[in-house]
């Protein structure tokens, strides 16, 4: 028995829009930057403050929260992390006595995260070196116009990913 198949032109696979040579160079540079900057940040924070970039991100976010602290779910949203990642890191940091977690009295469902005095000391000690590193490697090499262009470009890239439901 022989079956005849017809090709539906509307379902045909279209050729991808391949990157030009210049776009390929830019993409590879962006990919390297995307993986390299967190490594550089971790290295600087580990060398100067004995902590990871993730720990610093948590300390900084909690230090900027209102005096009552921040709920763990809100912290995950602020950092753009999965709740399980935040929970795991909070346990480690609580064991180091950098922060405290307590049940939210209003509803009992969430946890308020606050810094301990030791946590405040650590973030205050780490911040000057971290901001110096950020200034020296991100802002000092660029003119004010280049900084604005970088910010606008990053925003456009993020918005394109958000529009596709990928962010």
pLDDT tens profile 85-134: 999 999 999 999 999 998 876 666 778 999 999 999 999 999 999 999 99
Q: CB burial class (10 A; 0-12, 13-18, 19+) of residue 44?
A: buried
What letters, b where the CB count within 10 A reaches 16 and e where it falls short, cover 97-118?
A: ebbbbeeeeeeeeebbbbbeee
Q: What are the angstrom distances between the C-alpha of 5 and each of 2, 9, 145, 160, 167? A: 10, 13, 58, 39, 40
Cα–Cα dist 44/133, whole Å = 8
Count of all residues that appear for the chain in the document? 167
120 close to 60: Cβ distance less than 8 angstroms: no
Whether the model pTM is above 0.75: yes
State yes or no: pLDDT of 8 exceeds 70: no
Highest mean pLDDT among 66-70, 99-103, 140-144: 140-144
Provide, rounded to the nearest whole percent, the portion of the chain with pLDDT above 70: 90
């Amino acid at each position: 028995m022989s079956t005849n198949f017809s090709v539906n032109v509307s379902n045909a696979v279209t050729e991808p829009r391949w990157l030009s040579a210049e776009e390929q160079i830019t993409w590879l540079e962006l990919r390297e930057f995307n993986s390299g900057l967190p490594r550089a940040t971790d290295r600087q924070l580990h060398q100067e403050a004995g902590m990871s970039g993730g720990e610093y991100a948590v300390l900084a976010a909690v230090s900027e929260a209102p005096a009552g602290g921040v709920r763990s779910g809100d912290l995950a949203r602020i950092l753009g992390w999965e709740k399980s990642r935040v929970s795991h890191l909070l346990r480690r940091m609580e064991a180091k006595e950098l922060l405290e977690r307590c049940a939210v009295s209003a509803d009992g469902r969430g946890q308020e995260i606050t810094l301990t005095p030791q946590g405040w000391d650590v973030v205050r000690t780490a911040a000057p070196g971290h901001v110096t590193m950020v200034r020296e490697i991100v802002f000092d090499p660029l003119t004010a116009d280049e900084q604005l262009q970088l910010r606008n470009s990053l925003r456009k890239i993020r918005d394109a990913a958000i529009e596709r439901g990928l962010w």
